[in-house]
Structure 1
Amino acid sequence: MKSTNQALLVLMLATFGSALIRFQCSQLVVERLDPLVNPGMLPSTHVHQIVGGNSFNATMDPKKDMPAEDFSNYWTAVLYFRAKNGTFKRVPQTSQISGATAGITVYYMQDALYDTAQKSKVTAFKPGFRMFIGDVNARSKAEVTKYRQLTYTCMENTGTREPETLNFPQKPCKAGIMVNQRFPTCWDGKNLDSPDHMAHMAYPESGTFESGGPCPASHPVRTAQVLFEVVWDTSKFNNKADWPADGSQPFVWSFGDATGYANHADYVFGWKGDALQKILDTACVVNCAGAKTQNTAAMNKCAQKAVVNENIDGWLTELPGGHEVQYGPAPRAVKYVA
């Protein structure tokens, strides 16, 4: 097993206040693999973009594939543009760090993002821990609101952070679409996983993580807030003359959701030893004790060759895996044929 301690994600590490960790993870691979929801399936049901440790594979056995040197893996579905003629094109990403290759910006927070004090005590995840957030079958607002804070921001410029919506923006976004995925922050303290990859985690009894509400008795251990930020460069597809003839917004997730309500994400913990806990317990800015950093060029070198041999780029006549475009909440599906 190749050690990825020095050659995977990190970390142009930028921290704010006391151990609010924010770092850019460059893209490891884009393919149809999902060891959390579809373990062992080659290919998995839909295309994902993955960042993190290069031990990523179709099974991710925590006893075999997560050595102490490794780091976490983070992944989301991929966004596609659907043109008026029914063809699809993968939407590229932009990075919040100059020179970084696509990927995800990841936060670990003790308190709300805007609370620079970050004084709360939180517990780091344990080896073998994994979790999932969202519902790939959600097609209505009612179905997605139970997950709290899976959102989209139509960016006017690179600094735009609001307003946030639960569905895809319905207008062209000058600087792209930012997708936010905030994971639950209360752990049952026992299980590293659960059959649905969610039951071992819960939200605070009241409000969201930012509200500071207490964890429920069933899930008493307060963990860090894990937040993914992904910026999709939709600016290349802002000509409404190329949008579907019925005027509907043109973006669709790789599994066919055209509403945006099925926003979801996966997380597999893999920090070295107690490095994450030490960082979360330490007041630090930029350089945190126990955190090793690397420059952008080194970060970009960490890539993995796809094991699924299929065309996911170019102009496609259908989404990889043959998924139909689905609208909601009414049960309506359209399978385009160019």
Structure 2
Amino acid sequence: MRSGTVSLRRLPRSRLFILAGIVVALAGFLGWFATGPLNLASADDQPLSQGKPATASSLEGQGYPAKAAVDGDPKTRWSSAFSDPQWIQVDLGAPVAVGRVVLQWERAYATAFEVQLSVDGTNWRTAYTTTSGTGGTQSLTVSGLGRYVRMYGTKRSTGYGFSLWELQVFGSSSGPATATVNPPASPTTTQPTSGGGSSTGTGGATGGTGGTGWVMAPNPVTNVKPSHEVPPNKGGFHEFQANCSVSRSNLADDPIVFPGLPGASHLHTFMGNTTTNAATTVESLTKGQTTCKAKGDLSAYWMPTLLNGDTPVNPVGLQVIYYKAGVTDYRTVRPFPKGLRFVVGNAKNTDADKFLAATEEGFECGNSYKNKNIPLTCPSDRSVQLNIRYQAPSCWDGLHLDSPDHQSHIVYPVDSHTASGWVCPDSHPVAVPKLEFKMAWPVNGDMSKVRFTSGAGPTFHYDFINAWDERTLAAMIEGCIVAARQCDPRGHDGRDDQQPAPYVLNEQYLLP
């Protein structure tokens, strides 16, 4: 035996057991490091996905839930049904700049799959794709903005399902300034589900993650009680029109739901202010121009873009946005505060009856009215357009310019079931104008492929940021709504030729 070597046969049995244990442990560690579940994060680089809500298209059984793939425990796993395709997704709670996704596969891995990102849980962008997956632990470099991160498997490696020990997402919640997401052209890029799984996120037009939650009004309105008085001309008109045309189209920005995040929303069609984008503020609107007739109306109005197939369809010419009294005592209606913003409707709505209740006649085309959804056909006549008249809430809490869901600070009036008619609730006592979008799109004939970028008809919604010149808005409300008139965009009621009402605005649509 050469000097410096040790014969294992001469070692005591106890020392052999110790040495063997060390060898086995080291081999196990190296094997685990090479092929087993591996946490690639350091102590200061923890996965943003850990402990966050997770959903999946299906489960192999109750013992393999989606949450097991984001619990940080390498001994628990998600496993799907035994079919293609299947998916699992995690809701990070807010849009982040995603830089890396780690997939720790069980033996039932995907040979073909995609890693997809979404800011709203509806429209998805592919950040990574492969058709030659090898399983094990895969650390994938991706780049994009996403609140939701999804593994979408299209081909299994075995006869079993897809199975993950861990799905880990790494990135920056603040995100680099260059982080953007390329929006899909239409909702058809959303992958079909199998097993009926769905997202539990609240992105989209209501409940988005943008903004700062409750935003206090600089001049709150307090000590106001809802009016139960019965005014004269109770059943008359109390309104004026804002006639506005499209100012920007097919832009995937939403300064209410996703402020400061360009490209984060589905496509929108904007009216009114010509500068509206993801970076919009009240100050920037005040410096902009408008496509509305009233030059003092610098407000931002927008809605999801209508698609016919994959082709965007914009309203042509001036569209009508009514400013009406939503309460019976129209004399109590006062102007919006500068900077008030809200969202009307819900981009994820599936309740067609609830949608219909907030409209005048539902979707209209030709002689067809009260449609809960976009009709499948309309008369093939050039004069026929798809119409909607959708009404906003008009009772403000008097305290906040915005709320976390962009709706809680302003609600609909309630029916008093008395002579007082419609009144504001005590929680939201300040009566403000009721906006009513009256939109018309030049589509007719076969309507089977007509939809919004948010989805089917009941997902229609619209957004508003008030940037009216304060004196102009106050004069229009006083001269039309409070004065019980039916005014045009100049604040003129021409119904009575014998006693014509005065104009609020001059021929240039400016306040004299």
For Structure 1 versus Structure 2, the TM-score category normalised by the shorter chain is 0.5 to 0.7
Indicate the residue corresponding to 2:425 in structure 1.
Answer: 216
SS across alignment from 1:132: strand
Indicate the residue corresponding to 2:243 in structure 1.
Answer: 24
Indicate the residue corresponding to 1:330 in structure 2.
Answer: none
Residue by residue, what CA displacement relative to the aligned partner does 1:15-68 show, whole Å, maximum 9, x if unpaired?
Answer: xx8762113201111022211111112213211111112332312223554359
SS across alignment from 1:281: helix
Indicate the residue corresponding to 1:167 in structure 2.
Answer: 373
Query: Any unmatched runs of 5+ in structure 2?
Result: 1-235, 289-295, 492-502
**Structure 2 counterparts to residues 198-213 of structure 1, below 5 A:** 198-206=407-415, 212-213=421-422
- Compute the displacement of 1:164 (Å): 2.5
SS across alignment from 1:229: strand
- Structure 2 residue aligned with 1:127, among 329, 338, 357? 338
Distance 1:74 1:53 in 2: 8
Paired residues of 1:110 and 1:280 also in contact (CA < 8 A) = no
Distance 1:121 1:278 in 2: 14
**Letter in structure 1 aligned against 2:442:** D
CA shift in 2, pair 1:219/1:293, >3 Å = farther
Alignment pair present for 1:154 and 2:368: no
**Structure 2 counterparts to residues 60-139 of structure 1, below 5 A:** 60-66=280-286, 71-82=298-309, 88-94=310-316, 101=317, 104-110=319-325, 120-139=331-350
Deviates most, 283-292 or 268-277: 283-292
Alignment pair present for 1:188 and 2:397: yes
SS across alignment from 2:405: coil
Indicate the residue corresponding to 1:275 in structure 2.
Answer: 472
Indicate the residue corresponding to 2:450 in structure 1.
Answer: 251
SS across alignment from 1:197: coil
Distance 2:373 2:333 in 1: 31
Percent identity, please.
25
CA shift in 2, pair 1:142/1:229, >3 Å = closer
Distance 1:47 1:66 in 2: 24
Deviates most, 271-280 or 170-179: 170-179
Indicate the residue corresponding to 1:46 in structure 2.
Answer: 266
**Letter in structure 2 aligned against 1:34:** D
TM-score for the superposition, normalised by structure 1: 0.63
Paired residues of 1:51 and 1:73 also in contact (CA < 8 A) = yes
Paired residues of 1:176 and 1:233 also in contact (CA < 8 A) = yes
Indicate the residue corresponding to 1:310 in structure 2.
Answer: none
> Cα RMSD (Å) of the superposition?
3.1
**Letter in structure 1 aligned against 2:365:** M
**Letter in structure 2 aligned against 1:216:** P
Alignment pair present for 1:141 and 2:347: no
SS across alignment from 1:234: coil
CA shift in 2, pair 1:143/1:181, >3 Å = closer
TM-score for the superposition, normalised by structure 2: 0.43
Distance 2:421 2:350 in 1: 29
Distance 2:284 2:345 in 1: 27
SS across alignment from 1:228: strand
Query: Any unmatched runs of 5+ in structure 1?
Result: 1-16, 83-87, 95-100, 244-248, 296-338
- Compute the displacement of 1:233 (Å): 0.8
Paired residues of 1:18 and 1:119 also in contact (CA < 8 A) = no
Distance 2:243 2:403 in 1: 28
Distance 2:284 2:321 in 1: 25
**Letter in structure 2 aligned against 1:265:** Y
**Letter in structure 2 aligned against 1:168:** I
- Compute the displacement of 1:70 (Å): 6.2
Indicate the residue corresponding to 2:200 in structure 1.
Answer: none
The one of the two structures with greater contact order (alpha-carbon pairs below 8 A, sep at least 6) is: 1
Distance 1:225 1:53 in 2: 20
Indicate the residue corresponding to 2:441 in structure 1.
Answer: 232
CA shift in 2, pair 1:92/1:148, >3 Å = closer
Residue by residue, what CA displacement relative to the aligned partner does 1:82-139 show, whole Å, maximum 9, x if unpaired?
Answer: 2xxxxx2222423xxxxxx3x5311111269xx9xx9533011011111101111112
**Letter in structure 1 aligned against 2:305:** V
**Letter in structure 2 aligned against 1:177:** L
* Structure whose residues are more often strand by fraction: 2
- Compute the displacement of 1:291 (Å): 3.1
Distance 2:507 2:264 in 1: 32
SS across alignment from 2:243: strand
Paired residues of 1:111 and 1:120 also in contact (CA < 8 A) = no
- Compute the displacement of 1:204 (Å): 1.3
Indicate the residue corresponding to 1:177 in structure 2.
Answer: 386
Between structure 1 and structure 2, the one with the greater Rg is 2
Indicate the residue corresponding to 2:279 in structure 1.
Answer: 59
Paired residues of 1:81 and 1:250 also in contact (CA < 8 A) = yes
* Structure whose residues are more often helix by fraction: 2
